Structure 1
Amino acid sequence: MFKFNAVRPEWVTLIASAFLLAGFNWVLWQHLFEITASNAQGILMRVAFAVMVFAAFNIVLTLLAFRPILKPLLTLLFMVSAGVAYFMSQYGVLIDAGMFRNLAETNPAEVRDLLSLKLLAFIVVLGVLPSWLLWKTPLIYRAWHRDLLSKLLVSIASVAVIGGVALVNYQGLSSLFRNHHELHLMVVPSNYLGASIGYLREQVASAQQPFVKIGEDARKDLTWQTHGRKSLTVLVVGESARA
Structure 2
Amino acid sequence: MSDLTPTAHLQTVPLPRQTIAFNHSSPLWHPLWFAFVGALAMTLLLNTPFFDAIQARAAGQYSLQLSLVSLLFLLNFLLLTLFSFRPVQKPVFLLLFLLGSTALYFNTSYGVVIDKSMLQNALETDPAEAQGLLSGGMLWQLTKLMLFPLLAVTVIRTKIVRNKRFLLHWLAAILLIILTLLSIVTINYSQLAPFFRNFREVRYLALPVSTLSATVSLANNIRKTAFPVSFNQLGLDAKQLPAATSSTKPKLIVLVVGETARADHFGLNGYVRNTTPLLSALPVYSFKQASSCGTATAHSLPCMFSALSRTDYIESTAKNSSNVLDILQHAGVEVSWLDNNSGCKGVCDRVPSEFLFEQQNHSSCDRGQCLDSVLTERLPVYLSKANTAPKDRLIVLHQLGSHGPEYYRRSAITDKAFVPECQNKQLQLCSLQDVINAYDNSIIATDQLLATVINQLSAAKDYQTAMLYISDHGESLGENGIYLHGLPYWMAPTAQTHIPLLWWMSENYITGQKVNTSCIQQQTEQKASHDNLFHTLLAIFNVQTTMRETQLELFSQCQNDLSAYK
The 2-side partners of 1:136 and 1:63 are apart by 22
Could you tell me which amino acid in structure 2 is paired with residue 147 of structure 1?
Answer: F
Match of 2:87, SS state, is: coil
**TM-superposed deviation, 1:69:** 0.2
Please identify which structure carries the higher strand content: 2
Query: 1:15-54 residue pairs with structure 2 within 5 A?
Result: 15-38=37-60, 42-54=61-73
Q: Partner residue of 2:179?
A: 160
The 1-side partners of 2:56 and 2:81 are apart by 32
The 1-side partners of 2:241 and 2:90 are apart by 61
Query: 1:60-209 residue pairs with structure 2 within 5 A?
Result: 60-207=79-226, 208=228, 209=230
Shift in CA distance, 170/213, structure 1 to aligned 2, threshold 3 Å? closer
TM-score when normalising by structure 2: 0.39
8 Å contact 1:20–1:188 — kept in the other structure? yes
8 Å contact 2:76–2:208 — kept in the other structure? no
**TM-superposed deviation, 1:36:** 0.9
The 2-side partners of 1:166 and 1:235 are apart by 46
Shift in CA distance, 205/170, structure 1 to aligned 2, threshold 3 Å? same
**TM-superposed deviation, 1:222:** 6.2
Match of 2:27, SS state, is: coil
Could you tell me which amino acid in structure 1 is paired with residue 233 of structure 2?
Answer: V
The 1-side partners of 2:174 and 2:246 are apart by 69
Could you tell me which amino acid in structure 1 is paired with residue 120 of structure 2?
Answer: R
The 2-side partners of 1:32 and 1:212 are apart by 48
8 Å contact 1:8–1:139 — kept in the other structure? yes
The 1-side partners of 2:162 and 2:242 are apart by 76
Shift in CA distance, 132/233, structure 1 to aligned 2, threshold 3 Å? same
8 Å contact 1:100–1:192 — kept in the other structure? no
The 2-side partners of 1:29 and 1:221 are apart by 63
- Find out whether 1:212 has 2:199 as its counterpart: no
Match of 1:210, SS state, is: coil
**TM-superposed deviation, 1:50:** 0.9
Shift in CA distance, 220/51, structure 1 to aligned 2, threshold 3 Å? farther
**TM-superposed deviation, 1:87:** 0.7
Which digits, 9 at most, give the CA deviation of each residue in 1:154-186, with x for residues without a partner? 222222322222233220012112222222222
Shift in CA distance, 219/71, structure 1 to aligned 2, threshold 3 Å? farther
Structure with the greater alpha carbon radius of gyration: 2
Shift in CA distance, 109/144, structure 1 to aligned 2, threshold 3 Å? same
Could you tell me which amino acid in structure 1 is paired with residue 175 of structure 2?
Answer: I
The 2-side partners of 1:145 and 1:204 are apart by 36
The 1-side partners of 2:242 and 2:144 are apart by 60
Could you tell me which amino acid in structure 2 is paired with residue 45 of structure 1?
Answer: L
Shift in CA distance, 121/142, structure 1 to aligned 2, threshold 3 Å? same
Shift in CA distance, 153/236, structure 1 to aligned 2, threshold 3 Å? same
Q: Partner residue of 2:29?
A: 7
Match of 1:142, SS state, is: coil
Could you tell me which amino acid in structure 1 is paired with residue 259 of structure 2?
Answer: V
The 1-side partners of 2:242 and 2:116 are apart by 38
The 2-side partners of 1:86 and 1:224 are apart by 61
The 1-side partners of 2:122 and 2:35 are apart by 29
**TM-superposed deviation, 1:201:** 2.4
Shift in CA distance, 72/223, structure 1 to aligned 2, threshold 3 Å? farther
Range with greater deviation from structure 2 (108-117 or 198-207): 198-207
Which digits, 9 at most, give the CA deviation of each residue in 1:94-151, with x for residues without a partner? 2222111101112111121111122112211212442233123211121111111111
Could you tell me which amino acid in structure 2 is paired with residue 212 of structure 1?
Answer: Q
Range with greater deviation from structure 2 (53-62 or 97-106): 53-62
Number of aligned residues: 239
Unaligned runs of 5+ in 2: 1-21, 261-295, 302-340, 343-566
Match of 1:160, SS state, is: helix
Match of 1:68, SS state, is: helix
Match of 2:212, SS state, is: helix
Moved over 3 A (4+): 211-228, 230-235
**TM-superposed deviation, 1:81:** 1.6
Which digits, 9 at most, give the CA deviation of each residue in 1:29-73, with x for residues without a partner? 2211111122xxx11101011112211221221121001100111
The 2-side partners of 1:232 and 1:151 are apart by 62
Shift in CA distance, 128/110, structure 1 to aligned 2, threshold 3 Å? farther
TM-score when normalising by structure 1: 0.85
Shift in CA distance, 190/224, structure 1 to aligned 2, threshold 3 Å? farther
Higher RCO by CA contacts (8 Å cutoff, separation 6 or greater): 1
Match of 1:183, SS state, is: helix
